[in-house]
Structure 1
Amino acid sequence: WLLHGPGGQGKTRLAHHLGRELAARGWTVLWPRAGARPEQLLELRRAARPLVVVLDYAETRPAQLAALVEAAAEHPSTCPFKLLLLARTAGDWWQQARTGSRQAEELLATARTRRLTPLEDDPEQRSGHYRDAAHALATALPTVPSLTGHDWSAAAAALQPPRRLGDSAYGNALTLHMTALADLLDTARPELSDSTDNEDVQDVEDRLLGHESRYWRSSAAARGLSPALATDTLETALAAAHLAGAADREHADLLWRRLPALADQPRDRRNTVTAWLATLYPPSVAAPGGPPWGALQPDRLAERHVGRALEGDPRLADRLLDGADDTQAEQLLTVYSRAAAHPVFHGRLDTHLAGLCVRHHEALAAHIITTATRTDHPYPLTAALGTLTADPTTPLNTLNRLYGHFPGTSHRLATTAAHLAHTITNRYRALAEANPDAHLPDLAGALNNLSLHLGELGQQLEGLAAVEEAVGHYRALAEANPDAHQPNLAAALNNLSLRLGEVGRWAEGLAAVEEAVGHYRALAEANPDAYLPDLAMGLHNLSIRLGEVGRWAEGLAAGEEAVGLYRALAEANPDAHQPNLAGALNNLSLRLTEVGQQLAGLAAGEEALGLYRALAEANPDAHLPDLAMGLHNLSLQLGEVGRWAESLAAGEEAVGLYRALAEANPDAHLPDLAMALNNLSIRLGHAGRRAEGLAAVEEAVGHYRALAEANPDAHLPDLALSLNNLSIRLTDVGQQLAGLAAGEEALGLYRALTEANPDAHQPDLARTLNNLSVYLGEVGRRAEGLAAVQEAVAIRRALARANPDLFGPDLQQSLEVADWLEGLEP
């Protein structure tokens, strides 16, 4: 299992509680130390008793995680072997861990992930929790030698909870408990009663550090470190120990020699600093050659102390990086980013961290990107990448190395990756103009990559222009050297078909993907291992394009072939191909519904949604948009078979997800939100919640008007669809004239769309004519209503001849409307 949540939410505490319960039942509970070598953890494959391994901060310990997975894979299964991962996030690092090896793919594909939510969301309950914590702490404080002689129980009884417990920060269990502890400790020092503002939740770590620093000073004096070393020097050493760490005592001495105040001290005194730290915070395992000290706990206290040290001396991190190994560099960036996240620093540490990354980008490139995918505060890291990208003096080789470190899919790095791809493209354009033979392939590849990133950001027109240029270059290259460039041409054509579809140029998109599939068939025949995934991808996109132009039977055949290929590929490599299988199943469900196979379509949609839920749980950054899409489509299919309550629930969940996505990236997800709102309005209408249904479709129409104004080719069909739905919702609430106006606007749009593409839009035109005829009849315009429904009957009669199962019921509906209108008084 992966359990994740922000610092102080209670992950480690919950894992210890679980460990105690399991130990009481005969389990062995193991918490590997940070410095445990992978080969040591691999020995757990020999465990002969029920074993649970808890890996804290799993996002920062990939080598240990890989070793534990290997140990689990080789364990004989005669007794349980369980792995609990604790992390602050479940982002890109988790996806990378799950695809790191064949064993990881097999064992982590079905791992459950849980986000630990705040323990107490109700502010009214927090005062009770505060008092409970204060009384519990009061029973423990007398056991601390320096805190005897004070009546802690009486102090706890006299405490008053903070007045601003409604502050959301108090929903974090650790914040509430730290506040209770700080308030208790302050009662033993009357001089603080007038000077300490106990109401600022952001200051609680500083208050506790104030008490902790007295412990540091008394311990340093006992070891003879003061007054020889200033308090600031010792506090800086403590910050360095948490920022960079040390593998052993020799490593620790190298760390001290990077600090000016300790570098000129005798070795004995530096060793005493190491011993002082080990006394303050003993290592979890005292072993020769092991880590010389442990950690100030809880982590938020260490991070706050580190942040204060870095704010006071921004170049401290530069000195610590001089000679640091990869482990220290990664730890430094991780701890720095966590410290910078605290609002008390008001973004000042963000600026310092970004500057550090820019200054040391050659050594830190991989660590910057890796840490950005793991930390819950990536902004300063992405800002540094943006600075490097925008700097015209950054060498092209450096930019390419940076690009190579980016993960394949990352929501949080999408904008950064697009900017980098744009810069690389511009650099290659200049080189290709000077020397096309050498650099035209590089330019074509950069353009194709840029198109993909622009598409992810919702910048379809810019993405289309980039890939059209890439296809042109690859055509010329493939003509001269087909063996070398035909695969690239096929990939660019496939990408071109996606971009064309996004802007509503479906016929051209179909032509592009048909050409791509032709290339991929030939390539897969010659080398199936290399090109079957590409063929499956091409068929999946071909199915979508065929559906868009109304060739549903052919679209179904292509979709079924794609699903068949992806099933086989996902069986062999689930982590690589399960997302593709889910997408192909989602598409297949639509194609089945289009040809009247609603139950089969629903089954495919339910299977796709199950896969998407697991994928989004494991990596929400990458797969939440997929989950939202799967829910939206399933809502449609559930409605097709009359399961309205389930359809409404799925639609509401889809809208919730799309709202959050559209807030973060409106260019990419506003069309999705509008689509989901339009569908939700229909479901709300069926549930009798007509006013809510009207509000939902009015919001959808508003979004589509803006989108169609910017890109009519892509969004006029959506606007027409939502207007047709708006006319129904208005009529539902008794606003017939307004409903008629919306229907007439929809009809005008559909006439123009049908003229341009009759196969795709004739059914929509007929549906709009049918609905409009009813509204015209209801407002006394019988003759106009008859003309409209007769036109709808003519269209639906022709459609039903070609596909009676799909369009026969629609024809019957229009005939009944015509009979009703005939019976009305002239």
Structure 2
Amino acid sequence: MNRDHSDVPTPAGYTLSNTGDAWADAPGSIAISGFVDGDVTLGMPRYRLTALAGGTPRAAETLRLAELLDARHRVVPFLGRDEEQRSLGEWLTATRDRPDRAVQLIHAPGGQGKTRLADQFADTARKAGWEVLRAYLDPGEPDRVVTGDQRRAAAGLLVLVDYGDWWPATDLRALFTDPRLHRGGPVRVLVLARAVGYWWQALRYWLRATLGVAVGEFQLAPLAPNTDTRERLFRTAAARFAALVSHSRIDAVRVPDLADPAYGSALSLQLAALVAVAVSHDRTLRVPSTLVDMYGYLLDREVGHWRQLLAGNAVTGGIEQLDRVVLVAMLAGPVPYYLGQAVVGCAGVGSEPGRVAQLLADHSTCYPPRNAGWVLEPLQPDRLGEAYLALAIPGHGWSSHAPKPWAVGVVRALLRGAGMPTAQAARVRAGALTVLAEVAAGWAHVAAAVLLPALRDEPALATAAGGAVLAKIIDLPDVDVELLARIEPFLPPRRHVDFDNVAREVVARLAADRLARNPDPVERARLHIAYGRRLANAGDREAALEQTDLAVAAGEAAVTTAASPETFALLALALHLRAHRLAAVNRYPAALASAERAVELLTPLAQGRGDSAGSFRWALAEALDNLALRLSNVGSHEKAEVAGRRAVELFTGGSRSARGERGLAGALTNLAVIEAHLGRGTEALATVRDAERIWRRLTDEEPSVYRPELALTLNTVSLRHAELGQMNAAVTAAEESVGIFHNLVRANMVAFELDLAAVLANLSGYLWQLNRRTEAFQYNAEAEAIFDRWGGANPQAFSLHLRHLRENIAAMRAQQSPVDLRRWELGAQSFNS
């Protein structure tokens, strides 16, 4: 599907198949039926927006012991967080200085009180006249949720998104383009997550650059940083629990050693208080002394709850079968009923339809779902459910908590996803892997018994839940090079912002092991090339150059040992890549020499016949594009144009392919730079706009892969506009480039900060010429700070840039006019470098 991006793109959106009463001035659920992009309607995103009902929570006297810890029941009075509430209140308030649409992320480890703070904030917003919705992942039909307030709130719309780091990226994007979030008036979205990471970096960029949404974030600090605060919170919670737990004696509650760092979170303090209250009626009972034993105590009480229901015929299955469904729910739930049937069947807990239905009914009796039509409600709070999963897996060594021999088989079955449609299996697999990686980080036996064996059997699992989960996996102590070697083929083959850093780490460990064992020069050259590419993608310029130097040396040895078209092509590739790496540290004459030799080696190979010649022609096109850049770097613009046009001809002459399209876009960007140096500004602008359209189309399809190239091309677009005197258009393109680079820097500062500094310096020049002097100083100062930092680490490479920036600032302060700050032509790298 092609789309012309020369104008502002038409926003993508969603068609609505059933909105309930939500569009008739009454809150309700929204069903989304399809994604609309242009005139194409694609698949069904799996989420749901449901009105957050007000009113009082369920009576605390009716809750089981473990339920007293569940944040949604609000059993313990809300204390503290005054500064966070004030900050959120300011963020919510709509003023002329604040945009209509804003997103805020709150992140902290589990148990710090994120959900409770969000619920308290939602109550405040509702009382102030805001409509409040909660977003759920939901692949099924919506249920009707109706509150007593049938009027549309006038102040604005607040949407709460919990477990943001567990949502698939496509579903989060679908949520943020929902029509309900783009109605008139202020809209605020509050996202909660345990950790920031690749998922948030990519989403933050997309929200700002594509939707123009204001984005903020903060980490929720520990609620109880010192012993005095912990004791106050402990006693408050204990007093509340003592009023609810029968036969308890508040005077007999034994306070643990609250100086232990384990009691730094709100949940751990409430857990300790609850268990201390529960055993206070009998001084002969041993008070659990560790958090694991405390969770174990609550889990024993859960089993007692199941037995009571079984004795009263409220459930009809056996305890072990119910236990298995609880484990399935921890990994896969909550889900709509039809998916729950598939999940339970997949896990091998039940096979006959009638049996599966009975198991789901029994589980729903024990753990009533929060939403009608859903099943497999997990144990709450999360940390209790995670402890349940960890203690179920054999190998933990806690003798007082017997493992369940069948647990490993259930987990492995869910990871396989057998018997489910592909999309459902992928969703369940990713969710289960996310939970397992989280639990395995704190419980080594979960990694050893389940997660790592599953990855060895099916290494594609490693990337099923994204880069952040893979980073957690490879940090596990027992991950060895054999497993990494099995995972490597499933890494993104090219640059991918979400995976670049973790891919570098995987390949680094593998390269060290393989190079130590392999004397073959061909294989050594390939290893150095692969590792160098990963280093370059991650932004480690000097290390990437070192690896390409080693690749060239190994390539020379390979040609000497066994000269052939393949070894000559391998050496040419190493030389081509070394030219890029040398240019990245401003060693342009050496880069030119390396690029020239690569072209010399590839030219006769590309003139041959057969299938291999076609591959060599692609390689020659990329090498010519590289050569054109290097010639331009040293001022040989006429020769550069010849090489650049040959590259474009080769990219357009072959059969259409993704590799050719990427290569063409980069070659056009570089050709535009050369045309500008030759004084053909109008032609240069048209050329680079052709490249921009290709990069925009590719970025729409895979933003994590292509948006750095789009940012580089937009810098070239801005320079071409500026040369034609079109300063407002230059500012627009440069600001978009800066916006992309700012977000890329947050994902990987080392890889993208120097490019950001260059575009900031260019933007400063445009703004100066538009008499926007304050902004010009600001952007130039930001660029100076970046180059100053890099110049300290490598003065030879970056001192010239720093001197240019300081000359510009001095000229600006002296009010000299005209001032031309447009010094940085970033061009485009060969994408396959």
Q: TM-score, normalised by structure 2?
A: 0.58
Where structure 1 has 5 or more consecutive residues not aligned to the other structure, the ranges are 3-10, 22-30, 32-51, 57-79, 89-116, 135-142, 176-190, 203-213, 282-292, 373-377, 751-759, 761-826
Q: Is the 8 A contact 1:249 1:274 kept in 2?
A: yes
Q: Which residue of 1 aligns with 2:584?
A: 502
State the Cα RMSD in Å.
Answer: 5.6
For residue 369 of structure 1, what is the aligned residue in structure 2?
A: 463
For residue 236 of structure 1, what is the aligned residue in structure 2? 327
Match of 2:468 among 379, 390, 393: 379
After superposition, the C-alpha distances for 1:170-216 in whole angstroms (9 at most, x for unaligned) are: 944999xxxxxxxxxxxxxxx99x99xxxx999xxxxxxxxxxx999
Per the alignment, do residues 511 and 119 of structure 1 end up closer, same or farther by CA in structure 2, a change over 3 Å counting?
closer
Instruction: Work out which of the residue numbers 308, 326, 329 in structure 1 matches 2:416.
Output: 326
Rounded to whole Å, the distance in 2 between the matches of 1:415 and 1:254 is 34
The Cα of 1:337 is off from its aligned counterpart by 5.4
Instruction: Give 1 or 2: higher helix fraction.
Output: 1
Which protein has greater RCO, CA pairs closer than 8 Å, 6+ apart?
Answer: 2
The structure 1 residue matched to 2:604, chosen from 512, 522, 534, is 522
Deviations 1:122-150 (A, max 9, x none): 9998657755879xxxxxxxx99xx9xxx
Q: Deviation at 1:678?
A: 0.5
Describe the SS at the equivalent of 2:347.
helix
CA deviation after TM superposition for structure 1 residue 468, in Å: 0.7
Q: Distance in 1 between matches of 2:333 and 2:789?
A: 51
- Deviation (angstroms), 1:510: 0.8
After superposition, the C-alpha distances for 1:374-400 in whole angstroms (9 at most, x for unaligned) are: xxxx42322212447x95xx355x433
1:654–1:676: 8 Å Cα contact kept in structure 2?
A: yes
Aligned-pair distance for 1:578? 2.2
Flag the 1:220–1:241 CA change in 2: closer, same or farther, 3 A. Answer: farther
Q: Given that residues 160 and 190 in structure 2 are in contact (C-alpha distance below 8 angstroms), is that contact kept between their aligned partners in structure 1?
A: no
Question: 1:178-257, aligned counterparts within 5 Å?
Answer: 224-225=315-316, 234-239=325-330, 242=333, 252=344, 255-256=347-348
Distance 1:729 1:711 in 2: 27
* Match of residue 500 from structure 2: 414
Q: Look up the match of 1:457.
A: 538
Match of 2:385 in 1: 309
Q: Show the counterpart of 1:595.
A: 678
Q: CA deviation at 1:642?
A: 0.6
1:254 is displaced (CA, Å) by: 7.1
Q: How many residues align?
A: 574
**Cα distance in 2 between the residues matched to 1:300 and 1:395:** 37
CA distance in 2: counterparts of 1:589 and 1:158, whole angstroms: 57
Consecutive unaligned residues in structure 2, runs of 5 or more: 3-10, 22-30, 48-100, 106-120, 135-142, 163-186, 193-239, 245-264, 268-304, 394-406, 419-424, 826-833
Q: Equivalent residue for 1:482? A: 563
What residue is the counterpart of 1:799 in the other structure?
A: none
Mapped contact 1:690–1:733 kept (Cα < 8 A): no
**Cα deviation, residue 640, structure 1:** 0.3
Q: Does 1:564 align with 2:649?
A: yes
- Aligned residue in 2 for 1:802: none
Q: In 2, distance between residues paired with 1:272 and 1:707?
A: 65
Q: Which residue matches 2:45?
A: 86
- Give the whole-Å Cα distance in 2 for the aligned partners of 1:596 and 1:162: 55
Does residue 493 (structure 1) correspond to residue 585 (structure 2)? The answer is no
Aligned to 1:66: none
Who is 1:108 aligned against? Answer: none
| Equivalent position of 2:696 in the other structure | 613
Distance 1:304 1:612 in 2: 46
Aligned to 2:464, what secondary structure does the other structure show? helix
Q: Which amino acid aligns with 1:721?
A: H
Asked if 1:549 is matched to 2:602, the reply is no
Residue 441 (1) aligns with residue 497 (2): no
CA positional deviation for 1:556: 1.3
Three-state SS of the structure 2 residue aligned to 1:656 is helix
AA in 2 matched with 1:366: A
Secondary structure of the 2:607 match is: helix
Counterpart contact for 2:718–2:729, Cα < 8 Å: yes
Shift of residue 224, structure 1, vs aligned partner: 4.3
1:454 Cα deviation (Å)?
Answer: 1.2
Supply the distance in 2 between the matched residues of 1:13 and 1:221 (Cα, whole angstroms). Answer: 51
**Mapped pair 1:471 → 2:555:** no
Aligned amino acid, residue 459 of structure 1: D
The alpha-carbon distance between structure 1 residues 614 and 441, as it changes in their structure 2 partners (threshold 3 A), is same
Look up the SS of the partner of 1:572 in the other structure: coil
**1:335 and 2:431 are equivalent in the alignment:** yes
Q: Mapping of 1:131-142 within 5 angstroms?
A: none
Please give the per-residue CA displacement for 1:207-262, whole angstroms capped at 9, x wherever unaligned. Answer: xxxxxxx99999997774268669756533544664999999899567345xxxx9
Q: CA separation of 1:339/1:440 partners in 2, compared to 1, >3 Å: closer, same or farther?
A: same
Q: What is the Cα deviation at residue 541 of structure 1?
A: 0.6
Q: CA deviation at 1:118?
A: 7.0
Q: C-alpha distance in 1, partners of 2:634/2:559?
A: 29
What SS is found at the alignment partner of 1:313? Answer: helix
Q: CA deviation at 1:355?
A: 8.6
Quote the offset at 1:555 in angstroms. 0.9
Mapped contact 2:647–2:667 kept (Cα < 8 A):
yes
The change in CA–CA distance for 1:615 and 1:157 in structure 2 (over 3 A counts) is closer
Aligned match of 2:770: 687
Change (3 A) 1:614 1:226: same
AA paired with 1:640? E
Query: What is the percent sequence identity of the aligned residues?
Result: 19
After TM superposition, the structure 1 stretch with the greater mean CA deviation from structure 2, 224-233 or 551-560, is 224-233
Cα drift, residue 603 of structure 1: 0.7
Residue range with higher mean Cα deviation, 543-552 or 624-633: 624-633
For the 8 Å contact 1:219–1:276, the answer to whether it is kept is no
CA contact (8 A) 2:341 2:356 kept: no
Q: Which structure has the bigger radius of gyration?
A: 1
Cα offset, 1:488, TM superposition: 1.0
The aligned residue for residue 772 of structure 1 is none
Displacement after TM superposition at 1:440 (Å): 3.1
CA distance in 2, matches of 1:158, 1:87: 27
- CA change 1:651–1:594 in 2 (3 A) is same
Q: Which whole-Å CA distance do the structure 2 matches of 1:534 and 1:252 have between them?
A: 51
1: distance between equivalents of 2:559 and 2:489? 25
Q: Structure 1 or 2: larger strand share?
A: 2
- Report what 2:197 is aligned to: none
List per-residue Cα deviations over 1:572-631 (Å, max 9, x = no partner).
22x333222221111111111011111111111111222222222221211121121111
Q: Which runs of structure 2 are paired with 1:757-796 in the superposition (5 Å)?
A: none
Question: How far apart, CA to CA, are the structure 2 residues paired with 1:529 and 1:280?
Answer: 61
